[in-house]
Amino acid sequence: MIDTVIFDMDGLLVDSEPLWGVAMREVFASVGVTLSPELTHLTTGLRTKEVVSYWHDYFKWEGKSSEQVVNEIIDNVTQKIIKEGRPMEGVEYILQYFQAKQFKIGLASSSPLRLITAVLQHFELAPYFQAVYSAEFEDYGKPHPAVYLACAQALNSKPLDCIAFEDSVTGMIAAKAARMTTVVVPEAHNRHNPRYVLANMQLDSLLDFNDTKLDLLIMK
């Protein structure tokens, strides 16, 4: 029986993806690497260390270690989210909806835990979650299902009893690989990506979710 919901964070609960892009471009520029917005989209959904490793293998910069670049990006994006970020449309609605249904609520994100903690506290979302997990502590990040499986285990839930909400293809694949019922809420420019057909349901906004949609998921 479906009684658990697990959310991604960046791009789904908080409008932080553009800020991630800006933060990465600023830090990469300090080592002589120029990334366009199109290039930063290539690594959406990956862990920060995986993004840095990906571009270091390509550009092979010198002067700063990969670890230093990772920490600078995390510090930079955390500051930007706290200063400029905003919740996505329907965040309080969807959390209150599942809270009223007495669902167990978890969060499974590719972001580092210190960033997740800062964001949830800043937007006063932390009280909604019974489990918060970061892929930084897993052997593999999304699209591997590890972080979703760890979050479900912490909630004492079976993966088949979980609904996962995601905004990216990478995250969707992770949730589906965990055998969870998956709802995607892509960015407007990416809604027609044919790969989202793998999800159980696609929405334009968290506000679009309701009892009818929940019933459809339960019956699938």
Residues 21 and 123 in one domain: no
- Active-site residue, selected from the candidate residues 10, 75, 161, 167: 10
The 10s digit of each residue's pLDDT in 31-88 is 999 988 888 878 877 789 998 999 999 899 998 999 999 999 999 999 999 999 999 9
- Active-site residue, selected from the candidate residues 3, 8, 75, 211: 8
* 0.75 surpassed by pTM: yes
Asked about 208 being catalytic, the answer comes back as no
Asked about 75 being catalytic, the answer comes back as no
Q: In this structure, are residues 107 and 131 in contact, taking their beta carbons and an 8 Å threshold? A: yes
- The count of structural domains within the chain is 2
Residues 46 and 129 in one domain: no
Residues 57 and 141 in one domain: no
Of 54, 84, 114, the one marking the end of a domain is: 84
